[in-house]
């Protein structure tokens, strides 16, 4: 028998409730029945994003909403600041480049969070900056960026907005969009929303919608103005991934039932257990100072090859964890705990890590990690 488990930071494991709903016969997206689904999703997403404004849903992976957050907000000649502390920060820069937007990168050492003071200095010295693009949780390094503090800085500049890629942030930790004054928040379905890949989300503040009004960059599929108009009519501009919408209604119901704060607390606890476990095994965290509760990136001592370990996870236990990317390749593995995970899921993956490391010759006391996790997870 070969059981499979996903512990990658997207796609993540799915609840049977969601899978079963998606297996129901498909409905037509221009029927009143679908409009009801759409209306419920709109409310559920506003609850999750903590905004009074609409959250638009696109049939694309998360990058689609990121692209839209550049092409709909900026205009020719505008400049942007891009926080580059990992693969996904780099992606903001690549999107800006594709649209001819000059950007000032803030290169942050991988594993570290950005210092908001740097953003203030650049905004003060360059009046052409119109947008600051950042991650809430940089999935390639496991870092959580201080988006609340970044928003505090950007708020003081009438001509600039802050746009947050919260693809592994929304539904993991508290990101009160309106209360913190975030101008744009984008997310994706295959993470804490407990769905397969295929949907992306974008919500904008009133300030950001004014930027949309004057934006002259080319856009077609990801046309936020058009999508907003349709969203308000419980429609999407083009044929949506209907089954994913049905699944989304279910996962949003599950999140509401558990309660937003309880969801955040669960993630906090699973993350804390994982961090304590790896430390008890004598391993180091890749992002010790500002870790995200979405995933834990674990560093290995010389002699333990992260790529090989990742392969063994799958071969021996059917478990998919993520390896390091680019400069972190071979040096780390990333264990996810965002979305449909509970306490014993983490015990399982930590136990597998212990067995594999022991077999690879790493010296530590077998059971030390599981024990440390249990101490966090009991009660």
Report the interface residues with ligand PLP, using CB under 6 A: 10, 61-63, 88, 135, 139, 165, 167-168, 188, 197
* Minimum distance of ligand PLP from residue 295's CB (angstroms): 9
Beta carbon nearer to ligand PLP, 63 or 234: 63
Q: How far apart are CA 310 and CA 266, in angstroms?
A: 26
Look at residues 140, 132, 153, 131 and name the one whose alpha carbon lies nearest to residue 85.
140
Q: How far apart are CA 298 and CA 337, in angstroms?
A: 13
Contact 74, 131 (CB under 8 A): yes
Strands of 55-59's sheet in order across? 55-59, 199-204, 184-188, 161-165, 129-135, 79-84, 102-107
| C-alpha to C-alpha distances, 245 to 17, 31, 38, 59, 362, nearest whole angstrom | 14, 14, 8, 9, 46
* Minimum distance of ligand PLP from residue 356's CB (angstroms): 24
* Minimum distance of ligand PLP from residue 88's CB (angstroms): 4
Q: How far apart are CA 258 and CA 278, in angstroms?
A: 28
Sign of the CA dihedral running 316, 317, 318, 324: negative
Beta carbon nearer to ligand PLP, 53 or 61: 61
Beta carbon nearer to ligand PLP, 167 or 298: 167
Beta carbon nearer to ligand PLP, 34 or 201: 201
Contact 183, 155 (CB under 8 A): no
Beta carbon nearer to ligand PLP, 163 or 167: 167
Beta carbon nearer to ligand PLP, 69 or 298: 69
To the nearest 10 degrees (0 to 180), the angle between helices 32-49 and 242-258 is 40
Beta carbon nearer to ligand PLP, 68 or 188: 188
* Minimum distance of ligand PLP from residue 193's CB (angstroms): 11
* Minimum distance of ligand PLP from residue 89's CB (angstroms): 9
10 Å Cβ neighbour count for 2? 5
Look at residues 328, 282, 288, 281 and name the one whose alpha carbon lies nearest to residue 305.
328
* Minimum distance of ligand PLP from residue 81's CB (angstroms): 17
Look up tokens 């539904």; give the residue: 171
Q: How far apart are CA 59 and CA 215, in angstroms?
A: 23
* Minimum distance of ligand PLP from residue 165's CB (angstroms): 5
* Minimum distance of ligand PLP from residue 113's CB (angstroms): 14
Beta carbon nearer to ligand PLP, 167 or 304: 167
């Amino acid at each position: 028998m070969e059981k499979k488990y996903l512990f990658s930071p997207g796609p993540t494991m799915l609840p049977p409730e969601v899978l079963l709903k998606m297996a129901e016969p498909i409905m037509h997206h221009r029927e009143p029945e679908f409009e009801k689904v759409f209306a419920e999703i709109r409310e559920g997403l506003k609850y999750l994003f903590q905004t009074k404004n609409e959250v638009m849903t696109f049939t694309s992976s998360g990058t689609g909403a990121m692209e839209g957050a550049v092409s709909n907000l900026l205009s020719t000649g505008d400049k942007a600041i891009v926080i580059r502390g990992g693969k996904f920060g780099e992606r903001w820069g690549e999107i800006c480049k594709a649209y001819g937007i000059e950007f000032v990168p803030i290169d942050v050492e991988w594993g570290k969070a950005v210092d908001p003071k740097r953003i203030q200095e650049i905004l003060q010295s360059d009046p052409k900056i119109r947008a600051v693009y950042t991650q809430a949780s940089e999935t390639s390094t496991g870092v959580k960026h201080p988006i609340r503090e970044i928003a505090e800085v950007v708020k003081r500049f009438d001509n600039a907005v802050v746009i947050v890629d919260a693809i592994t942030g929304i539904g993991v930790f508290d990101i009160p969009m309106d209360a913190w004054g975030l101008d744009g928040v984008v997310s994706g379905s295959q993470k804490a929303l407990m769905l397969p890949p295929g949907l992306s989300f974008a919500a904008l503040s009133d300030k950001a919608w004014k930027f949309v009004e004057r934006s002259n960059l080319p856009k077609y599929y990801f046309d936020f103005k058009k999508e907003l108009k349709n969203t308000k009519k419980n429609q999407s501009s083009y044929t949506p991934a209907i089954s994913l919408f049905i699944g989304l209604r279910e996962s949003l119901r599950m999140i509401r039932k558990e309660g937003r704060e309880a969801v955040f607390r669960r993630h906090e606890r699973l993350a804390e257990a994982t961090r304590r476990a790896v430390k008890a095994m004598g391993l180091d965290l890749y992002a010790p100072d500002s870790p995200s509760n979405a995933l834990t990136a674990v560093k290995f001592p010389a002699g333990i090859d992260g790529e090989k370990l990742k392969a063994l996870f799958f071969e021996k236990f059917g478990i998919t964890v993520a390896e390091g990317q680019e400069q972190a390749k071979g040096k780390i593995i990333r264990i996810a705990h965002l979305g449909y995970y509970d306490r014993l899921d983490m015990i399982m993956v930590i136990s597998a890590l212990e067995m594999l490391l022991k077999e690879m010759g790493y010296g530590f006391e077998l059971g030390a990690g599981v024990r440390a996790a249990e101490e966090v997870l009991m009660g």
